[in-house]
Structure 1
């Protein structure tokens, strides 16, 4: 019998031995309240209809599947298809769960929604959702990422959110999470922390996965309609893991579909400058849950690095950890050079500028395609567009 992945996590928020609520008792009560509200509200026809209507009329779903013909011809071998989440309103998959979280926060009577952001896509999507729903929004972002992702910073300010620069630690995503969580703890009764990935204490890995599962549900139906079969391979980039789990979930019980998550190898796995959590990490607690993470001998998170700001996180979603352990998903890594090569090739061959995060998945698909016969197919989750990265890449490559 296949594992019924949709029944996970268990009632304590665990995917196997990963997840849970590694938090103080008073905060556990708040998380349990959010879980109860989510389970009650999200199952109602009124909530589902409102979200469906917003996905269709506001986000522009379903996002299409595109055959990357010229990229395929260049690589040779398997055909490469793209699930175009970059075409969503706000330019990435993040809007899928941000709308759900903002709707839930409003239903619960919260006065402010808080979040962290790395590449800025989650920040823009949440600021957008909060403007639409009519609730105050505050985004914490590392100082380094603010300089690197200036276009998204401008968008967040225009959308009316309060942007808090984070100057502690490495001044990147992990520190933005710490900062946002500190603010949340000031008033967890009235504030809602809209976590930007399938990480954090239960119920957030479950909630974000459920909202993102629309990606895989659509893709499965679309690919069957287009090709008359399921894809042979799926691939998506993995930082915290929301876009990947969004695509993977609908296919987990399809044993013939091989699934690959792609982490950031940064400047190389033999250097300290990477974010390959599932490749080189070990089990520990981080930000209120158990997962693989990159940590020192004392169990403290190590500094991590990726050219893609959305991937430089020292932990990963607990369901990804479980899927690695049971070998249902294979996790590989792509370095900065390979990422930039994929970024430029997709841009110049297909007229699609990908986010640097998504370019990691494209880069792995390009390598994989060469190893496979022409009748095989690879579906890549193109999780975001590269508007935010264009100036950085142009300067980096002296274009």
Structure 2
């Protein structure tokens, strides 16, 4: 999981399939990132923000009661404890610093569950930038708390009424808006999707999760490396960041997708939002709507690096149903006092299912990234009660 080169290729995937009007903008972002990332001053600024604003490092929490019930050793990397409540802030602060370094004054973002939007609004307020967040109308309705948080932080939230009115359409609209605003605006992509350099850059900012977790596992475990490393996957940023810390170890990497949004598990090769990857498609090659109770997993594809890891056999991608995810959320809450986001609950659900089916050997050590907290999902869960 290194530098994909100037073409942005992860094996057969990636690239920059964008309109001519965005080619120069993407190249400008790449050049700025290549210049900034090795700069000690940039690194120090980001590290300080991650420490004093985000609260890094986040803890690695042993979940003893649930582990005992499952017959395994389950450890949670607690991204739910970050400021703003999810892993999204790690990437956004890096990109917001980059935008300011480039002289941009306005952040553009897409959001599904609202966590990336909240993180973008937070970073914009912190660094004195304007922010416009595109969000599908369906997601606005089911993530009303995060919409209110974004607006309270000063961001403009633009409803997207086209298509499925979810993350895919919000991303499309954000990219269209960027076309006419590249001079002063920076598109702050929320996942390891989109044209080069975004999949590589977002993973690089998110690998703080995997690097921290690897060091914490080395201190916690007699074997130093867990048997399994598990994370939920929509576009796949928290999983990409987690896997980056363990890809060169013996740990088995498992990405858990929503059954209705399983780009890595069930998708075919196609192009969407500027990158070649795996997407859900109909017989004519048209992108089909994804479905998930978790708005952050309601995306019909997966980032190109995940597609490459799947092809290599280095990571395995599995699916979980809405019912399994909600059941896992409740079980984790009642055994450990942790209310996870519905996205993260998909990863917990797979661990519960795999342990019960004997797929996880008794005593196996599992490190799972809990990508976010579940405050935003309370209304959805109340409707199901």
Is this a same-fold pair by TM over 0.5? yes
Which of residues 43, 46, 52 is equivalent to 1:51? 46
Matched, 1:165 2:159: yes
CA distance in 1, matches of 2:46, 2:238: 18
- Give the 3-state SS of the residue equivalent to 1:101 in structure 2: helix
Shift of 1:299: 2.5
- TM normalised by structure 1 equals 0.94
Task: Find the counterpart in structure 1 of residue 118 from structure 2.
Answer: 124
The alignment covers a number of residue pairs equal to: 382
Deviation track 1:74-129 (CA, whole Å, cap 9, x = no partner) reads: 22x21111000000000000000000011111111112110110000000011001
Residue 42 (structure 1) shift: 1.8
Of the three residues 212, 227, 230, the one matched with 2:206 is 212
Residues 341 and 374 in structure 2, CA contact (< 8 A), matched pair in contact too: yes
Q: State the partner residue of 1:24.
A: 19
SS in 2 for 1:188: coil
- The separation in 2 between residues aligned to 1:332 and 1:374, in whole angstroms, is 20
- How far the C-alpha of 1:10 sits from its partner, in A, is 2.5
Q: Which runs of 5+ in 1 are unaligned?
A: 266-273
Partner of 1:278: 264
- Mean Cα deviation higher: 194-203 or 9-18: 9-18
| 1:330 aligned partner | 316
Q: Does the 8 Å contact 1:235/1:361 carry over to 2? A: yes
Instruction: Assess if the C-alpha contact under 8 Å between 2:168 and 2:299 holds in 1.
Output: yes
In 1, the alpha carbon distance for the partners of 2:285 and 2:95 equals: 31
1:120 and 1:312 map into 2 onto residues whose CA distance is 12
Contact 1:83 1:381 in 2 (8 A): yes
How far off is 1:142 after superposition? 0.7
Does residue 307 (structure 1) correspond to residue 286 (structure 2)? The answer is no
- The 5-angstrom pairing of residues 32-181 of structure 1 reads 32-75=27-70, 77-181=71-175
Cα contact 2:280–2:287 (8 A) shared by 1: yes
Whole-angstrom distance in 1 between the partners of 2:352 and 2:242: 19
CA–CA separation in structure 1 for the residues paired with 2:191 and 2:301: 11
Contact 1:232 1:258 in 2 (8 A): yes
* Post-superposition CA distance 1:48-78 (Å, at most 9, x none): 0010011111100000001111111222x21
Two-structure CA RMSD over aligned residues (Å): 1.0
Whole-Å Cα distance in 1 between the matches of residues 24 and 282 of structure 2? Answer: 31
| Residue 190 (structure 1) shift | 1.8
Tell me, what secondary structure is at the counterpart of 1:66? strand
CA distance in 2, matches of 1:304, 1:374: 35
Whether contact under 8 Å (1:239, 1:311) holds in the other structure is yes
Mapping of 1:355-370 within 5 angstroms?
Answer: 355-370=341-356
SS of corresponding position for 2:245 = helix
Does 1:240 find its partner at 2:235?
A: yes
Paired residues of 1:369 and 1:378 also in contact (CA < 8 A): no
Q: Which residue does the alignment assign to 1:375?
A: 363
Structure 2 portions without partners, runs of 5+: none
**Deviation at residue 245 of structure 1 after TM alignment:** 0.5
TM-score for both structures, normalised by structure 2: 0.97
Return the offset for 1:27: 1.5
Equivalent residues of 1:80, 1:369 under 8 A apart: no
Contact kept, 8 Å, 2:262 with 2:301, in 1: the verdict is no
- Distance in 2 (CA, whole Å) between partners of 1:121 and 1:18 is 27
